[in-house]
Amino acid sequence: MKQILIIDDDSELCELLAEYLISEKFAATSIHNGRLGLDAALTGKFALIILDIMLPEMSGLEVLKQFRATSNIPVIMLTARGDEVDRILGLELGADDYLPKPFSPRELVARIRAVFRRLTTALEGNGDRESVRIEIGDICLESGARSALKSGENLNLTEVEFSILEQLMLAAGSVVERQALAEKVLGRRLAYDDRSLDVHMSNLRRKIGHGNGNECIRTIRGTGYLYVRPEK
Protein backbone atom coordinates (compact mmCIF):
# COMPACT_ATOMS: atom_id res chain seq x y z
CA MET A 1 0.00 0.00 0.00
CA LYS A 2 1.54 3.30 -1.10
CA GLN A 3 2.08 5.90 1.62
CA ILE A 4 0.89 9.43 0.80
CA LEU A 5 1.69 12.52 2.87
CA ILE A 6 -0.84 15.39 2.92
CA ILE A 7 0.60 18.75 4.05
CA ASP A 8 -2.34 21.14 4.48
CA ASP A 9 -3.53 23.28 7.40
CA ASP A 10 -7.20 22.56 6.65
CA SER A 11 -7.85 19.69 9.07
CA GLU A 12 -11.34 18.98 7.71
CA LEU A 13 -10.05 18.74 4.15
CA CYS A 14 -7.20 16.47 5.29
CA GLU A 15 -9.66 14.18 7.05
CA LEU A 16 -11.86 14.00 3.96
CA LEU A 17 -8.91 13.29 1.67
CA ALA A 18 -7.45 10.69 4.03
CA GLU A 19 -10.76 8.79 4.16
CA TYR A 20 -11.07 8.85 0.39
CA LEU A 21 -7.46 7.80 -0.18
CA ILE A 22 -7.86 4.90 2.23
CA SER A 23 -10.98 3.80 0.34
CA GLU A 24 -8.84 3.82 -2.82
CA LYS A 25 -6.23 1.53 -1.23
CA PHE A 26 -3.68 4.19 -0.29
CA ALA A 27 -2.32 4.95 3.19
CA ALA A 28 -2.54 8.63 4.20
CA THR A 29 -0.78 10.76 6.80
CA SER A 30 -1.72 14.41 7.40
CA ILE A 31 0.46 17.23 8.76
CA HIS A 32 -0.85 20.79 9.16
CA ASN A 33 2.43 22.70 9.42
CA GLY A 34 4.92 23.51 6.67
CA ARG A 35 8.13 22.95 8.63
CA LEU A 36 6.90 19.71 10.21
CA GLY A 37 5.59 18.61 6.82
CA LEU A 38 9.03 19.12 5.27
CA ASP A 39 10.66 17.07 8.03
CA ALA A 40 8.17 14.24 7.41
CA ALA A 41 8.60 14.39 3.64
CA LEU A 42 12.38 14.14 3.95
CA THR A 43 12.14 10.83 5.84
CA GLY A 44 11.69 9.16 2.45
CA LYS A 45 8.91 6.82 3.58
CA PHE A 46 6.23 8.45 1.42
CA ALA A 47 5.61 7.61 -2.24
CA LEU A 48 3.93 10.94 -3.02
CA ILE A 49 3.39 14.33 -1.35
CA ILE A 50 0.21 16.41 -1.57
CA LEU A 51 1.29 19.95 -0.69
CA ASP A 52 -0.80 23.06 -0.08
CA ILE A 53 0.77 26.47 -0.73
CA MET A 54 -0.67 28.38 2.24
CA LEU A 55 0.85 26.83 5.38
CA PRO A 56 1.88 28.05 8.85
CA GLU A 57 5.60 28.49 9.67
CA MET A 58 6.79 27.70 6.15
CA SER A 59 4.96 28.21 2.85
CA GLY A 60 4.31 25.29 0.56
CA LEU A 61 6.58 26.85 -2.06
CA GLU A 62 9.47 27.03 0.39
CA VAL A 63 8.77 23.45 1.48
CA LEU A 64 8.90 22.37 -2.15
CA LYS A 65 12.11 24.31 -2.83
CA GLN A 66 13.94 22.70 0.10
CA PHE A 67 12.45 19.27 -0.59
CA ARG A 68 13.51 19.30 -4.24
CA ALA A 69 17.11 20.03 -3.24
CA THR A 70 17.43 16.41 -2.11
CA SER A 71 14.41 14.39 -3.30
CA ASN A 72 12.62 13.54 -6.55
CA ILE A 73 9.58 11.98 -4.84
CA PRO A 74 6.47 13.18 -6.74
CA VAL A 75 4.67 16.27 -5.45
CA ILE A 76 1.18 17.46 -6.35
CA MET A 77 0.55 21.08 -5.34
CA LEU A 78 -2.82 22.39 -4.13
CA THR A 79 -3.40 25.98 -5.23
CA ALA A 80 -6.14 28.60 -4.97
CA ARG A 81 -8.34 28.62 -8.05
CA GLY A 82 -7.33 31.41 -10.40
CA ASP A 83 -3.93 31.97 -8.73
CA GLU A 84 -1.89 31.22 -11.83
CA VAL A 85 1.31 32.75 -10.44
CA ASP A 86 1.49 30.19 -7.62
CA ARG A 87 0.78 27.33 -10.01
CA ILE A 88 3.55 28.36 -12.37
CA LEU A 89 6.01 28.96 -9.54
CA GLY A 90 5.20 25.58 -8.03
CA LEU A 91 5.86 23.83 -11.33
CA GLU A 92 9.05 25.82 -11.82
CA LEU A 93 10.25 24.69 -8.39
CA GLY A 94 9.71 21.05 -9.36
CA ALA A 95 6.09 20.08 -8.61
CA ASP A 96 4.92 17.22 -10.82
CA ASP A 97 1.36 18.53 -11.11
CA TYR A 98 -1.09 20.90 -9.46
CA LEU A 99 -4.76 20.92 -8.60
CA PRO A 100 -6.73 24.15 -7.93
CA LYS A 101 -9.09 24.30 -4.94
CA PRO A 102 -11.90 23.42 -4.65
CA PHE A 103 -11.51 20.00 -6.25
CA SER A 104 -13.11 16.59 -5.97
CA PRO A 105 -11.22 13.80 -4.19
CA ARG A 106 -11.87 11.69 -7.27
CA GLU A 107 -9.92 14.14 -9.44
CA LEU A 108 -7.03 14.15 -6.97
CA VAL A 109 -6.88 10.35 -7.00
CA ALA A 110 -6.90 10.43 -10.81
CA ARG A 111 -3.87 12.75 -10.74
CA ILE A 112 -2.12 10.53 -8.18
CA ARG A 113 -2.70 7.41 -10.26
CA ALA A 114 -1.44 9.20 -13.38
CA VAL A 115 1.82 10.03 -11.60
CA PHE A 116 2.26 6.45 -10.38
CA ARG A 117 1.43 5.04 -13.84
CA ARG A 118 4.17 7.14 -15.40
CA LEU A 119 6.72 6.05 -12.81
CA THR A 120 5.70 2.39 -13.06
CA THR A 121 5.92 2.45 -16.85
CA ALA A 122 9.43 3.89 -16.66
CA LEU A 123 10.60 1.31 -14.10
CA GLU A 124 8.99 -1.66 -15.87
CA GLY A 125 10.36 -0.52 -19.20
CA ASN A 126 13.86 -0.30 -17.79
CA GLY A 127 13.52 -3.77 -16.27
CA ASP A 128 12.13 -5.44 -19.39
CA ARG A 129 14.60 -4.15 -21.94
CA GLU A 130 18.12 -2.87 -22.23
CA SER A 131 18.70 0.75 -21.37
CA VAL A 132 18.27 3.01 -24.38
CA ARG A 133 21.00 5.56 -25.00
CA ILE A 134 20.04 8.53 -27.15
CA GLU A 135 22.73 11.00 -28.15
CA ILE A 136 21.94 14.05 -30.26
CA GLY A 137 24.48 16.85 -30.45
CA ASP A 138 25.82 17.50 -26.95
CA ILE A 139 22.79 15.97 -25.18
CA CYS A 140 23.01 12.33 -24.05
CA LEU A 141 20.07 10.54 -22.45
CA GLU A 142 20.21 7.15 -20.68
CA SER A 143 16.76 5.63 -20.15
CA GLY A 144 17.93 2.96 -17.70
CA ALA A 145 19.63 5.36 -15.31
CA ARG A 146 17.00 8.05 -15.97
CA SER A 147 19.84 10.49 -16.50
CA ALA A 148 20.44 13.24 -19.03
CA LEU A 149 23.80 14.88 -19.65
CA LYS A 150 24.91 17.92 -21.62
CA SER A 151 28.58 17.85 -22.57
CA GLY A 152 29.06 15.32 -19.76
CA GLU A 153 27.35 17.47 -17.12
CA ASN A 154 24.21 16.22 -15.34
CA LEU A 155 21.16 18.31 -16.27
CA ASN A 156 19.39 17.42 -12.97
CA LEU A 157 16.01 16.97 -14.64
CA THR A 158 12.83 16.21 -12.73
CA GLU A 159 11.00 13.01 -13.67
CA VAL A 160 8.51 14.96 -15.81
CA GLU A 161 11.27 16.91 -17.57
CA PHE A 162 13.17 13.69 -18.27
CA SER A 163 10.04 12.06 -19.71
CA ILE A 164 9.42 15.05 -21.98
CA LEU A 165 13.01 15.03 -23.22
CA GLU A 166 12.90 11.26 -23.76
CA GLN A 167 9.74 11.44 -25.88
CA LEU A 168 11.05 14.33 -27.97
CA MET A 169 14.50 12.82 -28.55
CA LEU A 170 13.00 9.45 -29.51
CA ALA A 171 11.01 11.29 -32.19
CA ALA A 172 13.80 13.75 -33.11
CA GLY A 173 13.15 15.38 -36.46
CA SER A 174 9.39 14.74 -36.23
CA VAL A 175 6.66 16.79 -34.55
CA VAL A 176 5.21 15.38 -31.32
CA GLU A 177 1.60 16.50 -30.91
CA ARG A 178 0.97 18.50 -27.74
CA GLN A 179 -1.93 16.46 -26.34
CA ALA A 180 -0.16 13.17 -27.12
CA LEU A 181 2.89 14.40 -25.20
CA ALA A 182 0.73 15.46 -22.25
CA GLU A 183 -0.89 12.03 -22.09
CA LYS A 184 2.54 10.36 -22.16
CA VAL A 185 4.24 12.49 -19.50
CA LEU A 186 1.34 13.75 -17.34
CA GLY A 187 -1.05 10.85 -17.83
CA ARG A 188 -3.94 13.10 -18.88
CA ARG A 189 -5.16 15.44 -21.59
CA LEU A 190 -4.78 19.16 -21.04
CA ALA A 191 -7.72 21.49 -20.45
CA TYR A 192 -7.74 24.68 -22.50
CA ASP A 193 -6.31 26.75 -19.61
CA ASP A 194 -3.88 24.14 -18.28
CA ARG A 195 -0.31 25.41 -18.58
CA SER A 196 1.39 22.50 -16.82
CA LEU A 197 3.12 21.19 -19.92
CA ASP A 198 4.18 24.71 -20.95
CA VAL A 199 5.93 25.32 -17.63
CA HIS A 200 7.67 21.93 -17.61
CA MET A 201 8.76 22.59 -21.19
CA SER A 202 10.09 26.04 -20.25
CA ASN A 203 12.10 24.54 -17.37
CA LEU A 204 13.51 21.85 -19.68
CA ARG A 205 14.50 24.37 -22.33
CA ARG A 206 16.26 26.52 -19.75
CA LYS A 207 18.26 23.54 -18.49
CA ILE A 208 19.34 22.16 -21.87
CA GLY A 209 19.98 25.57 -23.43
CA HIS A 210 21.00 25.66 -27.07
CA GLY A 211 22.88 23.14 -29.14
CA ASN A 212 25.61 24.66 -31.27
CA GLY A 213 23.91 28.03 -30.92
CA ASN A 214 20.51 26.74 -32.08
CA GLU A 215 17.39 25.90 -30.07
CA CYS A 216 17.01 22.18 -29.41
CA ILE A 217 13.23 22.17 -28.91
CA ARG A 218 11.09 24.09 -31.36
CA THR A 219 7.41 24.88 -30.81
CA ILE A 220 5.25 24.17 -33.84
CA ARG A 221 2.34 26.56 -33.35
CA GLY A 222 -1.03 24.85 -33.09
CA THR A 223 0.51 21.38 -33.29
CA GLY A 224 3.22 20.48 -30.81
CA TYR A 225 6.98 20.30 -30.41
CA LEU A 226 9.96 19.26 -32.51
CA TYR A 227 13.35 18.17 -31.23
CA VAL A 228 15.73 19.55 -33.83
CA ARG A 229 18.48 17.35 -35.21
CA PRO A 230 21.69 19.38 -35.64
CA GLU A 231 22.86 19.92 -39.19
CA LYS A 232 25.84 17.81 -40.18
Kindly state whether residues 78 and 178 are assigned to the same domain. Answer: no
Helix, strand, coil percentages, rounded to 5, for the chain: 40, 25, 35
Q: What is the DSSP letter of 231?
A: P
Residue 230 has a pLDDT of 80
Residue 61's identity, in one-letter code, is L
In a domain, 125, yes or no: no
**Mean pLDDT, range 21-32, rounded to an integer:** 96
pLDDT in tens, 57-82: 999 999 999 999 999 899 999 987 66
Kindly state whether residues 160 and 182 are assigned to the same domain. Answer: yes
What percent of the chain shows pLDDT beyond 90?
64
In a domain, 169, yes or no: yes
Among candidate residues 61, 86, 119, the one where a domain is terminated: 119
In a domain, 126, yes or no: no
At 152, phi and psi to the nearest 5? Answer: 85, -5
Domain that holds residue 45: 3-119
Residue 52 pLDDT exceeds 80: yes
Kindly state whether residues 192 and 151 are assigned to the same domain. Answer: yes
The CATH number of whichever domain residue 93 belongs to comes to: 3.40.50.2300
Residue 215 has a pLDDT of 82
The CATH number of whichever domain residue 173 belongs to comes to: 1.10.10.10
What percent of the chain shows pLDDT beyond 70?
93
pLDDT in tens, 89-129: 899 898 999 998 889 999 999 999 988 888 776 655 554 45
Higher pLDDT, 157 or 125: 157
End-to-end Cα separation, the chain, in angstroms? 51
Kindly state whether residues 109 and 194 are assigned to the same domain. Answer: no
Question: Which band of pLDDT confidence, cut at 50, 70 and 90, is reported for residue 212?
Answer: low
Q: What is the DSSP letter of 209?
A: -
Residue 164 has a pLDDT of 94
Most confident region among 84-93, 123-132, 208-217 by mean pLDDT: 84-93
Among candidate residues 119, 142, 168, the one where a domain is terminated: 119
**Mean pLDDT, range 39-47, rounded to an integer:** 96
Kindly state whether residues 105 and 157 are assigned to the same domain. Answer: no
Residue 72 has a pLDDT of 86
Kindly state whether residues 8 and 107 are assigned to the same domain. Answer: yes
Among candidate residues 60, 89, 119, the one where a domain is terminated: 119
Which run of H or of E encompasses 196? Answer: helix 196-208
Kindly state whether residues 113 and 59 are assigned to the same domain. Answer: yes
Residue 26 has a pLDDT of 96
In a domain, 160, yes or no: yes
Tell me the pLDDT of the chain averaged across its residues: 89
Contact assessment for residue 61 and residue 89, using Cβ atoms and an 8 Å cutoff: yes
